[in-house]
Chains A and B, each alone.
Chain A
Amino acid sequence: MTLTPTQLDRYKRHILLKEIGGAGQQALLRARVLIVGMGGLGNPLAQYLAAAGVGTLGLVDDDCVDLSNLQRQILFDTHHVGAAKIDVAAARVKALNPDVEVICHPHRLTGENAAALIDQYDVVADGCDNFETRYIVNDACFHARKTLVSGAVGQFDGQVATFKPWLRDGDNVPLPCYRSLVPAVPDDDGEDCATLGTMGAVAGMIGALQALEVIKEITGCGESLAGKVLIFDGLRAHARTVKLAWDPANPLNGTGKNG
């Protein structure tokens, strides 16, 4: 695949980066990324990945735009209230970059459809709004050996992690999966952003960080976040990256399992 003159112009700032270059840009144009959830994380993910020239973007969401979404879901305008989120997002992405093919999956990701859905993509970016779906995404990505870049936000805080649990580290210990970070659904799972509130700009930060990690996984540039968690604390304006160890007790790739 050769970059056209228009593409050379559009992606000039990427191509100038020695870590990306023409080869990295071509890898992005060939890549297929699935974005789970079109909320505060899915919005900047779709925007930055589309702008970056990721060739195929799959969008999963079954929700419609609500007025209370607009405080943080920056793809949506006031007149979009009531419209299907992925229809609006797909139109915005296509308008932003005609190089991007958008595939709409207007339903929830479930244990029944996850494997077939994820199989169509190279990398999965999870920005969904509940722990149950996060486990389904994690498990399906593990079985299909697809890189998972997971993002989550609280009120003023956020976390980003990359999971490749079928790989092993230098000591032959498996890399962790999401179940090594969150072993069980927390007791207060009912307390979501709808009840606790959330800072829109933090969702923008975490979604943009996820987009960066997706781009790094596709192009191979920099250092993968696999085996680590980036924790952002917006109130303290502080971020740190911590090591996440594999938990041998986790039911997916724990001791005696197929990891």
Chain B
Amino acid sequence: MKITVNGEDRHVDAPLTIAGLLANLGIAGGKVAIERNLEIVPKSAYDSIGLNDGDRIEIVQFIGGGA
């Protein structure tokens, strides 16, 4: 299936969970939130939510600065 990650098209094998995608991308889950189709996915659902063809994923860095 084709998904978009940070604006770039990617072909991935279905089925794939959010946790699986993070592993594929080599991203540790501790520093980012995952946005799927304009919704932040609860971290506790990373293993249970499967991606669908056409999903738009954004990796959102946690930021805590007050500048």
Contacts and interface: CB of A to CB of B under 8 A. Distances in A.
Contacts, number: 95
Contact of B39 (A153, A184, A243): A243
Contacts of A40: 65-67
Nearest to A249: B44
A203 B66 CA distance: 8
Nearest to A69: B67
A37 B43 contact: no
A157 B35 contact: no
Interface residue tally on A, bucketed by range: 35 or more
Contact of B40 (A152, A192, A206, A229): A229
Interface in B28-45: 28, 30-31, 33, 35, 38-45
Contact of A243 (B38, B45, B64, B66): B38
B25 interface: no
Contacts of A41: 66-67
A198 B40 contact: no
A152 B39 contact: no
A42 B38 CA distance: 28
A245 B35 CA distance: 11
B38 A245 contact: no
B61 interface: yes
B39 A129 contact: no
Nearest to A154: B63
Interface string A131-173: 1001000000000000000011110011100000000000000
B65 A193 contact: yes
